Amino acid sequence: MASVGIIGLGAYVPPNEMSNEDWMEYVETSDEWITTKTGMKKRRIASSNVCTSDLAVEASKQALDDAKLKPEDIDLIILATSSPDVPLSSTAGIIQHKLGCTDCAAFDINAVCAGWVHALDIGSRYVGTNGYQNVLVVGSEIYSRILNWKDRATCVLFGDGAGAAVLSEVKEGKGIISSWLMSDGSGSSVIEIPSGGVRTPFDSDEFVEGSQYFHMDGRAVWNFAIEAFPQAVNESLRKAGKNIEDVDLVIPHQANINIIKTGMEKLGLGMEKTYTNLHKYGNTAGASVPIAMKEAMEKGLINEGDLVVTAAFGGGLAWGANVIQF
């Protein structure tokens, strides 16, 4: 099988910044609580006329430029999102139209905060098959619009943004050398939007005001995440035939600095082996890994020959990792 890797990368966050102090206008909270519990200081909030597809298009344009490709060179678009423009049709199709990818398939996947690592694995499997050469993988989210701005336990944790990568054939031995993915649906209610699906439609007698928004059992997610993150890194490395000592950089889902610190400790790695930007953007769900990867690249933290592990975990429960040889 041909080696498949990232030949172009892009990231976009909307310009409106919201600080911890700004949240104090909406809920009883403090900069001290948010900083100590999560490491977050700011996040970006999309304007009301901007959709998830719009952020995706901005990130995708950058990825295409970086890959030196035109929209019509893309054969397939896979969007990881849990905050789509509309419940149906697919937001990937809207991106395809807005980008002007004229000869191209497109679909969404939903693995919540672990969406990116799933989409990257799926995308890598299409390159070189079915006549597909270039696959655009996108993670894009506008969580500010699915959160309950009255629920302080969740609303302060997230931000909006998008990341995108063009996958194509690369030199043998380079690229995505393994992916490891896992799911535990027994925990599906730990993170969920209880209403608006077929179980409890908005017009059902069971509909309760507030249940149209994102809900989370934070402590249960914490207990899951501090195990899931290091497990995903270790299992993906085992599949790649690599050791933890081989790793140059771990790019984790930007959920919480304390989860990342605990996970890195369990892996036996110092914090200098990871990249975090959650203090600037909060948790951007399925977009957090590519946004962080793009920034790490721009800062010269990822170089030719480096072994990078991207790992993510969240609603589903779903978690996983990709091992990428640059």
Residues with catalytic function: 113, 253, 283
- C-alpha distances in angstroms, 275 versus 248, 257, 297? 11, 11, 10
- Residue 226 makes contact with ligand COA by CB under 6 A: no
The burial class, CB within 10 Å (0-12 / 13-18 / 19+), for 76 is buried
Nearer to ligand COA, 135 or 142 (CB): 142
Which of these segments, 39-47, 59-67, 152-160, 293-301, binds ligand COA (CB under 6 A)?
Answer: 152-160
What 3-state DSSP class applies to 231?
A: helix
Evaluated on CA atoms 260, 273, 276, 320, the torsion sign reads: negative
User: How many residues lie near ligand COA (CB under 6 A)?
Assistant: 20
Nearer to ligand COA, 237 or 285 (CB): 285
Site string for ligand COA, 109-148 (x = CB under 6 A): ----x-----------------------------------
- C-alpha distances in angstroms, 185 versus 7, 111, 303? 34, 11, 37
| Tokens encoding 176 | 């995505």
- C-alpha distances in angstroms, 293 versus 24, 174, 257, 276? 31, 17, 16, 9
Which of these segments, 6-14, 98-106, 227-235, 255-263, binds ligand COA (CB under 6 A)?
Answer: 255-263
- Quote the CA–CA distance of 80 and 141 in Å, as a whole number: 9
Q: What residues contact residue 82 under an 8 Å CB cut-off, 6+ apart?
A: 110, 112, 113, 115, 141, 146, 285, 286, 315
Site string for ligand COA, 273-302 (x = CB under 6 A): ----------x-------------------
Interface residue with ligand COA, options 17, 22, 24, 29 (CB under 6 A): 29
Q: Which of residues 186-225 bind ligand COA (CB under 6 A)?
A: 216, 218-219, 221-222, 225
Shortest distance (Å) from residue 295 CB to ligand COA: 19
Interface residue with ligand COA, options 255, 257, 302, 323 (CB under 6 A): 255
Interface residues toward ligand COA, by CB under 6 A: 29, 33-34, 37-38, 113, 152-153, 156, 216, 218-219, 221-222, 225, 255-256, 259, 283, 314
